[in-house]
Structure 1
Amino acid sequence: MSIGTPPLLPSKRQCERLAESLWDAVSVGDEYAATGVVLRALDDGTDPESVLLDVIAVVQGRVGEEWAANRISVAQEHAATAVNERAVAALAVHTAARTTPTRGRIAVACVDGEWHALPARLLAETLKLRGWRVDFLGAQVPSPHLIAHLHRTRADAVALSASIATRLPAAHAAITACQAVGVPVLVGGAAFGAEGRYATLLRADVWAPDARTAADRLARRPLPRPQVEHQQLDDLPHLADQEYSLVTRNRASLVRAVFTALEDAFPAMRGYTDHQRERTAEDLAHIVEFLATALYLDDETLFTWFITWTARILVAREVPARSLPPALGLLARELKDFPRATRILERGVEALTTGHFTTGDFTPDHFNTGDFTTDHFTAAGNTG
């Protein structure tokens, strides 16, 4: 396609065919075939934004679904994601000559601790196609480094991505820091919950459910500059009880105590291999991390979602999920003096014991554009 030729908006069926061709390449880790699918579509005049968001992003969502249902391994999921990243890079190089910045400057970054960078990369490339000058900072950007970048570049806005809810305390710190230097913040990613409920709680300026919506919002009008003098560094009054801080600070000792007691509460654990025991300890650490995040947000539904999601992942891997209620009970015993924490854990046990989780409960919206938690929560691959 020549530079002066306007791109063609593909039909839904055309996007589905392209996505199927890309999946065939991505699923076997063939980066050359994958980039070939993308480049041929672009050479045929297909709209680059559609290739990004209606083809590559859709395939990445399928990668998450396949991993969650235990149809591909962790290694295959990582390889597929890497191939998709190469496809995005190929598209970026192909379109660079015809995407001259005509708008302002935006920094796009993942919050500290968030290493799922592909959703943020999709947004960055979409914004470039829309005429923005974009600084893509990648995964795991500590807030001090982000602020230093803003001071140096005088960006008009920041777009922050977080896929996993446990990154929300770090997201809150980044949002507050950016606003304190007068830079508005747009946030997105699965971590911010349905309809952006946590984006509202954490006082982000704008939430968008996907890259196209984010680009549309930024195109309508500039984000207003925050009033620096009105910024509050701690605007979550429920944190005054210190439960979040104390659980976070004592995470390692909590995991050790529950792990030791679990052998008596769940006798099958005595037959675990060293690998299984190691993975069990990792899973307990994630349970404590999600509990802490639920305390930070004062939202017990986040924890019940996580714990039932974990059970579904175990069921899909033919791993008994019956070790989860005893683990939660033991954790509640350790935290008996923490009323919010014990209430959240009780809700988790109730959600598990109702049995409302099956392998059929996987839904695509939990795994969009790479917003999944990859290789955790296998409960050590238990066989007991």
Structure 2
Amino acid sequence: MIAADTGVTQGDRTPRPFAELRAALWRAVTDRDERAAGRVVLGALDDGLTTEEVLLDVIVPVQVKVGAEWAAGRIGVAQEHAATAIHDRIIAAMAHRDTVPAGTASAGTAPGAARTVTVACVDGEWHALPARILAEVLRGRGHDVDFLGAQVPTPHLVEHVHRTAPDVLALSSSLPTRLPGAHAAVTAVQAAGTPVLVGGAAFGADGRHARLLGADAWAPDARAAAGVLEGGLPRLRAGAAHTPADDLPHLADQEYTIVVGTKARLVRNTLAGIEERLPAMRSYTDAQRDRTAEDVAHVVDFLAAALYVDDTRLFTDFLEWTAGILHVRGVPATVLLPALTGLAAQLKDFPRALRLLERGRVALAARP
């Protein structure tokens, strides 16, 4: 048994405290020293920590810090990618040391409660590390896990579930813009009679999008997900699942469909409008123009996702996060306002879109 946040276990061996392990791992990954990182993690296992403890109490907090330091502008994109890659390879090395046979319940799993679980990321979701960590936590608890990795196309996922018939599909997504794809996957897999557990930042810190999209269960982290599985999810009756239209009647107004279908035109016209309002843009390099186009495209993507789930917070949270990223890099958040104005001019006949854009403008204007 672990004493909270100390890393001290019962028995003859006393691992280093979690805080000390995190600090050592942070130094290793930010120095891009994979060997040192491996010594920290594998040494903690040798000293008596479980795979789950190392994953969730050491690696996850360090990975969260990596993201926070990138957002604050204190480390670059390449350094963030390097740290994530090191964590991914170390987790793979940990998996080869696993001593729990598949289907054998561990101390945290009730006898006979082991399940077969397919773990996958939503189509278009390339953040695979959270799903990988979940897969290893579930393996450590004795479940039989089939990890499919990042960006699994929904038709292939459904075919795989039909062929392998897992007890549960655990579906991960970090990006809210992938929620429409997640919804399609949830409904299709449920129609095959397999319940779906979802997790990841895309579904909201409180799981509100998971409930809206009809998932059978939601978990905020890997430990909670393991607890949900061990509590039991019923196998659904084939063909009994809902359809996307049943879950989201507001989509009947076609605003989401039209915004997605006209994305290229919306981005092009918005860029032209920004250039009229900001003459300095005329002197942009090709790289600066490409970056501006990417930013506008992200705004359209998040607008579409917010229309899909009818959630104002999804859009305003994205704008405020983006404004924070720009601010620490010396760019005023007000540069986003012309994009909102340009989109509103083109979507003047779409009341839900206009409401979202206005809420976004108010949120940006309220920033110091």
TM-score normalised to the size of structure 2?
0.92
Q: Which residue identity does 1:165 align to in structure 2?
A: P
- Write the distance in 2 (CA, Å) between the matches of 1:313 and 1:44: 40
Instruction: From 100, 103, 109, give the equivalent of 1:101.
Output: 103
Does residue 332 (structure 1) correspond to residue 332 (structure 2)? The answer is: no
Q: Which residue identity does 2:268 align to in structure 1?
A: R
Does residue 230 (structure 1) correspond to residue 202 (structure 2)? The answer is: no
Match of 2:321 in 1: 309
Match of 1:9 in 2: 2
Structure 2 residue matching 1:106: 3-state secondary structure:
strand
Does residue 281 (structure 1) correspond to residue 283 (structure 2)? The answer is: no
Moved over 6 A (4+): none
- Structure 1 pair 99–44 and aligned structure 2 pair: CA distance change class (3 A): farther
Long gaps (5+) in structure 2:
7-16, 105-113
Structure 1 residue matching 2:215: 3-state secondary structure:
coil
Aligned residues: 347
- Write the distance in 2 (CA, Å) between the matches of 1:126 and 1:77: 24
Q: Which residue identity does 1:94 align to in structure 2?
A: R
Match of 2:221 in 1: 210
- Write the distance in 2 (CA, Å) between the matches of 1:214 and 1:197: 16
Match of 2:79 in 1: 76
Q: Is the 8 Å Cα contact of residues 39 and 94 (structure 1) preserved in structure 2? A: no
Q: Which residue identity does 1:125 align to in structure 2?
A: E
Q: Is the 8 Å Cα contact of residues 45 and 51 (structure 2) preserved in structure 1? A: yes
Long gaps (5+) in structure 1:
1-7, 357-384
* Structure 1, 22-31 or 171-180: larger mean CA deviation: 22-31
| TM alignment of 1:175-214, pairs within 5 A | 175-214=186-225
**1:268 Cα deviation from its structure 2 partner:** 2.5
Aligned-residue identity in percent:
59
Q: Which residue identity does 1:9 align to in structure 2?
A: I
Instruction: From 87, 90, 106, give the equivalent of 2:90.
Output: 87
- Write the distance in 2 (CA, Å) between the matches of 1:10 and 1:48: 16
Does residue 52 (structure 1) correspond to residue 55 (structure 2)? The answer is: yes
**1:304 Cα deviation from its structure 2 partner:** 0.8
Match of 1:19 in 2: 22
Structure 1 residue matching 2:150: 3-state secondary structure:
strand
Q: Deviations over 1:258-279 (max 9, x none)?
A: 0011111122322322211110
Does residue 253 (structure 1) correspond to residue 272 (structure 2)? The answer is: no
Q: Which residue identity does 2:64 align to in structure 1?
A: G
Greater relative contact order (CA < 8 Å, ≥ 6 in sequence):
1
TM-score normalised to the size of structure 1?
0.88
